[in-house]
Every structure is written in structure tokens, then in C-alpha cells.
Structure 1
Amino acid sequence: MDRQTLGKRGEDLAAEYLEGLGWRVVERRWRCAAGEVDLVAVEPGERPVTVFCEVKTRSGLGFGEPLEAITRAKMARLRILAAQWMRERHPRTMSRVDGIGILLRPGWDPLITHVRGIS
């Protein structure tokens, strides 16, 4: 599986996972001049939270766990992107950035790791 196909499959699985938690995915691959956010979802509750999800997908552990690929520079960019999205759409809601790691190995069920509030 090439990198693009692997990444798309991981994002699809992450969206399904979040929807299974009762969350609503409101954007996929949102882009602006500063970059791209993989998924934007709303976590329900008394005070709903807008969650910006960075999804990292790998087919093996040769280069480490999927979430290890989220660098400080990537986190800084995600904070900028989240602020831009919030300014354009929902300036009065709470928000955070989550990381979702997907490990897809042939013959195995996908392994999903979700870390809340990584920034």
C-alpha cells in the first residue's frame, strides 16, 4: 500500500472510531494557507469541545510508533491551524488537539491509539 492510500485508510478508520464514540466529524482534510488538519470533530457533552485530530498511520514499527511522528514543529502548526479554523467558524467553543495513531499490519486488526490534548 502506498503512503497516500495508507494515510487515507488511517483517516477513514480514525473517523469511524470517533463516530463510534458518539462524536461528530465536521471536517476532513481542512486546508488553509498554513497547512492541513486531518479531522475536525465535535466531542459531545454539556459543553461540546471542538477537537482537531492529527492522524498518523503506519504499516509497521520500523520507524517507531505512529504518534512519535508528531513533532514539536507539527504541534506548533496544529495550534495555528486550530486557531484559524476557530476564528473562521466557532470562536466561542472550547477546543483542543488530539493525536490518533493507527497501526495497520497485514493480517492484524488495526490498532488505534487516541491521545487527548497532545498540545
Structure 2
Amino acid sequence: MPDARAEVGRFGEDVAARYLSDRGLTIIERNWRSGTPRGELDIIARAPDGDLVIVEVKARRTLGVGAPVNGVTPQKLRQLRRLANTWLREHPEIPAPGVRFDVVGVLIGRGSSPSVVQHIPGVVV
């Protein structure tokens, strides 16, 4: 059984994928892993304007350590850029007229409370 952290992350990614799909993005791939550079892209999507969207998802159960989006550091954003470049090289068949990086934070609701989603499109990397 996955640990609580993995369950929170997976649930947050599911919420984020539904949120993005409901706003017209097409999910291309989820949880893509690279060996070099080592890491993972949570969600790769296509925006309605044709741009490729690399999405980092952060999920939390509480605000004890701050909003979920605050967990995305400048170092993480640099890693996302390297991973995105690797993904693009490995998928030349997928056109990418433009690439943007989005962050989605999910505060997981308790009981009947819905989860709260914060979407920051076009984060500067």
C-alpha cells in the first residue's frame, strides 16, 4: 500500500488533471519519468491555443506549511525545464509551437468539503 504522501500526491494529480481538462486542456501524459536528468513531469497537456503545457502539481492536506503552490521552488522549476527539454527530444512527433509551465496547487478537502485548486499558468522558469 502506498504511503500517505504518495496517496496525497496521486489524489492531487487526479484533481488537477480533471480541473485542467474541464478548462479545455488535453492531457497528453501523466507521471512521465526520465532517467537523465532524473525526475518526473506530473502532467503534460495541450492548451486550446496549441501550446504544450508542463504542469507541476503540489497537493497538501493542510496549510500548516503554507499553500501548496509555495512548495514549487526555483530549483524545482529549473529541473522542470531540463525534464521538459528531454521530453521534447524524445517526442519529436508531438508539435510544440510554444511551451509554458503551469503550477497547480491542490488543498485537499475533508469530509464533504471539496478540494481547493489554485492554478498559476505561465510560471517563469
When normalised by structure 2's length, the TM-score is 0.88
1:3 and 1:53 map into 2 onto residues whose CA distance is 19
Shift of residue 100, structure 1, vs aligned partner: 0.2
2:109 and 2:121 map into 1 onto residues whose CA distance is 24
Q: Does 1:63 align with 2:65?
A: yes
1:7 and 1:65 map into 2 onto residues whose CA distance is 14
Shift of residue 43, structure 1, vs aligned partner: 0.3
Within 5 Å, give how 1:1-119 maps onto structure 2.
2-33=4-35, 34=37, 35-45=39-49, 48-89=50-91, 90=94, 92-107=96-111, 108-118=113-123, 119=125
- For structure 2, the 5+ residue unaligned runs are none
Measured on the aligned residues, the alpha-carbon RMSD in Å equals 1.4
Paired letter, 1:88: E
Secondary structure at the counterpart of residue 109 of structure 2: coil
More strand as a share of residues? 1
1:83 and 1:50 map into 2 onto residues whose CA distance is 12
Shift of residue 105, structure 1, vs aligned partner: 3.0
CA contact (8 A) 2:51 2:96 kept: no
> Taking structure 1 as reference, are residues 92 and 26 closer, same or farther at Cα in structure 2, changes over 3 Å only?
closer
CA contact (8 A) 2:51 2:97 kept: yes
Shift of residue 92, structure 1, vs aligned partner: 4.6
CA contact (8 A) 2:52 2:96 kept: no
> Stretches of 4+ moved more than 6 A in 1?
none
Identical counterparts, % of pairs: 38
Paired letter, 1:102: V
1:72 and 1:18 map into 2 onto residues whose CA distance is 23
> Taking structure 1 as reference, are residues 91 and 23 closer, same or farther at Cα in structure 2, changes over 3 Å only?
closer
- For structure 1, the 5+ residue unaligned runs are none
